[in-house]
C-alpha cells in the first residue's frame, strides 16, 4: 500500500504527460475522420445490396454461391480456399438459423469495424502512444531530469507502463464508443440483442457446429473488445521495449510498423511457412477465433495467447533490464 502510494504520483506524471502531448487527441481525431468514411462506405454497400437483393437472405445465398465458385477454381491458394470453405459453412449456419450476420445497425458495424481494425489500425494507434515514451525523453534530454530524482528507475518505467496501459484501454473503449455513436446515426442505434454465433470448432477446413451457440451481439462486442485489448497490449509492450532500446523515436516507429505489417502479410502466406505462426503479429487477430476462422491451420486461441504472452513477457524483461542498467550517455 505504501509502495503504491509512492507510485501513484509517478503514474500521474506519465499519464498527464501523454495527455498534454496531445497524443490521445490525435487518436480521437483520427477516429473521428476514419469512422465516418467507413460508415459512408458501408452505407453505399448497403444501398447497392438493397438495390440488388430483395432480402438479406438472398444476399447471403449469393455470397455463399460466389465463395463456392472460387472454391472450384484451381488458381486459388489452398489456404484461401480453406478460409472460404469455413466461411461458407458459417454463412450457411447463419442462413439455416435465419440470423443475419450483417444486419445493418450501429452495433454490427462497430463489431465488424473493430475486428477489421485489430491487425493494423489498433497497432498503429498504440504505436502513436508508445513509440516515444522513452525515446522521446531521450531526444528532449528530459530523461536526465527524470532519472536524477530520488526514485528507482524501475518505478519510472513501471509508471510509464501503467500510463500506457491506461491509454490503450481508453483507445479501445473510445474507438468502440465513437464507432457506435457515429455509425448509429446512419444505421440506427440498435442491434445489442441480435444473436451472433460463436464457438465454431474448425477441423482442417470443415466446421463443426456442435458447439456453436448464439450470444447477444452486445456481449460479443464486449468479448471482441477484450481480445483486441490483449493484442493491443502486446503491441504496446513490444513498442515500449523498442522505445527503450532505440534512441530515435522515428526508428522505433519504423521498426514496429515493419514488424506489424510483415505479420499481416505473413499470415496470408502461412500455408507454406508454418513457423510464421510463432511471430507475434501473425497472432494479433484474436477476434478471428471468436468468429471462428483461425488465421493459420491448427492455430487456436490458447496457442495465440501463449505466443503473445511470451512476446509480451520477454519484452517486459528486456525493457526493465535495459532501462535499469543502462548508462545515460547523452
Partner 1 sequence: MRSLSSGNLWKIISISAVLSTLLLVAGFGFAVKDLLYPRGESFAGRANVPALPAGGKLSEGKNIEITAIGDSLTKGTGDASGEGYVKQVVALLKQKYPDTSVRLNNNLAVNGLKADRLQKLLESDKGYSFALKQSNIIVFTIGGNDLFQIASGTSPGKAADGLKLDKLKSGLPQGLNRLAQVVKRLHAINPNAQVVYVGLYNPFYDIPEYRGGSLQIQQWNEQAYALLHQYPNMTMVPTFDLFENAIGRYLSSDHFHPNHDGYAQIAARIVQSLE
Partner 2 sequence: MQYASQEARQSAQQDVVLSVSSVKKQIGGKPIIKDVSFEVRSGEIFGFLGPNGAGKTTTIRMLVNLIKPTSGEILICGEDIGRHPEAALRHVGCIVENPEAYSYLTGWENLEHFARMLRGIDNARIREVAAIVGLDSRIHDKVKTYSLGMRQRLGIAQALLGRPKLLILDEPTNGLDPKGIKELREFVRMLASQGMSLFISSHLLSEIQLMCDRVAIISRGEVLAVGTVDELIHGADNYVVWQFEQPEAGRRLLAGDGDVELVPEHEHQIDESLLGMREAVITAMNPDRISSLVEKAVRAGIGIVSVHCVAPTLEQLFLRMTEGESIG
Binding site for partner 1 (CB under 8 A): 11-12, 15-16, 19, 52-55, 57-58, 60-62, 64-65, 68-69, 72-73, 92, 95-99, 165-167, 169-170, 172-173, 195, 197-199, 201, 210-215, 219, 222-227, 229-230, 286, 289-290, 301-302, 305
Determine the Cα–Cα distance for residues 88 and 80; give it in Å rounded to an integer.
Answer: 12
- 20 vs 54 by CB, closer to partner 2: 20
Q: Rule CB under 8 A: is residue 58 a binding residue for partner 2?
A: no
Cα 73 to Cα 68, 167, 269: the distances in Å are 9, 46, 19
Binds 164: which of partner 2, partner 1, none (CB < 5-8 Å by kind)? none
Residue 205 beta carbon to partner 1: minimum distance, rounded to whole angstroms = 17
DSSP string for 11-54? HHHHHHHHHHTTHHHHHHHHHHHHHHHHHHHHHHHHHHHHHH-S
All residues at 6 or more sequence positions from 109 whose CB lies less than 8 Å from its CB, including other chains: 39, 42, 179, 180, 183, 187
Residue 154 beta carbon to partner 2: minimum distance, rounded to whole angstroms = 11
Binding mask 149-178 for partner 2 (x = CB under 8 A): xxxx--------------------------
Residue 9 beta carbon to partner 1: minimum distance, rounded to whole angstroms = 10
Work out the number of other CB atoms within 10 angstroms of the CB of residue 187.
22
Identify the helix (H) or strand (E) that includes residue 196: strand 195-198
Q: Rule CB under 8 A: is residue 33 a binding residue for partner 2?
A: no
Residue 278 beta carbon to partner 1: minimum distance, rounded to whole angstroms = 20
- 235 vs 255 by CB, closer to partner 1: 235
Q: Rule CB under 8 A: is residue 140 a binding residue for partner 2?
A: yes
- 167 vs 311 by CB, closer to partner 2: 167
User: Is the Cα dihedral 17, 18, 22, 25 positive or negative?
Assistant: negative
**Residues 264 and 147 sit within 8 Å (Cβ to Cβ):** no
**Residues 193 and 218 sit within 8 Å (Cβ to Cβ):** yes
User: Is the Cα dihedral 93, 96, 97, 98 positive or negative?
Assistant: positive
User: Is the Cα dihedral 48, 53, 54, 57 positive or negative?
Assistant: negative
Q: Rule CB under 8 A: is residue 261 a binding residue for partner 2?
A: no
Binds 15: which of partner 1, partner 2, none (CB < 5-8 Å by kind)? partner 1
- 162 vs 318 by CB, closer to partner 1: 162
Q: Is 114 exposed, middle or buried (0-12, 13-18, 19+ CB in 10 A)?
A: buried
Determine the Cα–Cα distance for residues 64 and 136; give it in Å rounded to an integer.
Answer: 50
Binds 290: which of partner 1, partner 2, none (CB < 5-8 Å by kind)? partner 1
Residue 275 beta carbon to partner 1: minimum distance, rounded to whole angstroms = 24
| Candidate residues 65, 142, 206, 300; the one interacting with partner 2 per rule CB under 8 A | 142
| Candidate residues 2, 3, 4, 20; the one interacting with partner 2 per rule CB under 8 A | 20
Q: Judged by CB under 8 A, how many residues of this single chain contact partner 2?
A: 25
Q: Rule CB under 8 A: is residue 22 a binding residue for partner 2?
A: yes
Q: Rule CB under 8 A: is residue 12 a binding residue for partner 2?
A: yes
**Residues 168 and 233 sit within 8 Å (Cβ to Cβ):** yes
Residue with cell 475486428: 115
Nearest to 175 by CA among 117, 128, 220, 108: 117
- 72 vs 330 by CB, closer to partner 1: 72
List of residues contacting partner 2 (CB under 8 A): 9-10, 12-13, 16-17, 20-22, 140-142, 144-152, 325, 327-329
Amino acid at each position: 500500500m505504501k509502495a503504491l502510494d509512492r507510485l501513484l504520483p509517478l503514474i500521474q506524471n506519465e499519464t498527464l504527460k501523454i495527455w498534454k502531448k496531445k497524443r490521445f487527441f490525435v487518436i480521437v481525431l483520427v477516429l473521428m475522420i476514419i469512422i465516418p468514411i467507413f460508415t459512408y462506405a458501408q452505407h453505399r454497400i448497403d444501398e447497392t445490396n438493397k438495390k440488388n437483393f430483395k432480402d438479406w437472405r438472398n444476399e447471403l445465398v449469393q455470397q455463399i454461391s460466389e465463395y463456392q465458385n472460387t472454391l472450384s477454381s484451381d488458381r486459388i491458394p489452398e489456404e484461401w480456399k480453406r478460409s472460404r470453405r469455413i466461411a461458407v459453412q458459417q454463412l450457411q449456419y447463419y442462413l439455416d438459423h435465419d440470423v443475419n450476420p450483417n444486419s445493418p445497425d450501429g452495433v454490427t458495424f462497430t463489431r465488424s469495424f473493430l475486428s477489421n481494425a485489430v491487425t493494423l489500425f489498433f497497432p498503429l494507434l498504440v504505436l502513436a502512444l508508445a513509440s516515444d515514451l522513452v525515446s522521446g525523453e531521450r531526444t528532449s534530454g528530459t530523461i536526465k531530469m527524470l532519472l536524477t530524482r530520488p526514485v528507482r528507475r524501475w518505478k519510472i518505467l513501471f509508471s510509464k507502463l501503467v500510463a500506457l496501459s491506461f491509454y490503450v484501454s481508453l483507445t479501445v473503449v473510445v474507438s468502440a464508443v465513437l464507432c457506435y455513436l457515429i455509425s448509429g446515426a446512419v444505421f440506427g442505434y440498435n442491434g445489442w440483442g441480435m444473436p451472433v454465433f460463436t464457438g465454431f470448432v474448425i477441423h482442417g477446413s470443415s466446421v463443426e457446429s456442435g458447439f456453436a451457440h448464439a450470444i447477444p451481439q452486445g456481449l460479443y462486442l464486449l468479448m471482441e473488445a477484450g481480445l483486441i485489448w490483449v493484442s493491443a497490449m502486446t503491441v504496446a509492450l513490444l513498442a515500449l521495449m523498442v522505445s527503450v532500446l532505440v534512441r530515435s523515436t522515428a526508428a522505433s516507429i519504423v521498426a514496429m510498423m515493419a514488424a506489424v505489417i510483415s505479420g499481416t502479410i505473413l499470415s496470408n502466406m502461412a500455408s507454406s511457412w508454418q513457423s510464421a505462426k510463432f511471430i507475434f503479429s501473425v497472432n494479433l487477430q484474436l477476434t478471428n477465433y471468436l468468429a471462428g476462422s483461425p488465421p493459420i491451420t491448427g492455430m487456436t486461441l490458447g496457442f495465440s495467447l501463449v505466443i503473445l504472452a511470451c512476446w509480451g513477457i520477454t519484452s517486459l524483461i528486456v525493457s526493465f533490464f535495459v532501462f535499469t542498467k543502462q548508462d545515460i550517455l547523452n
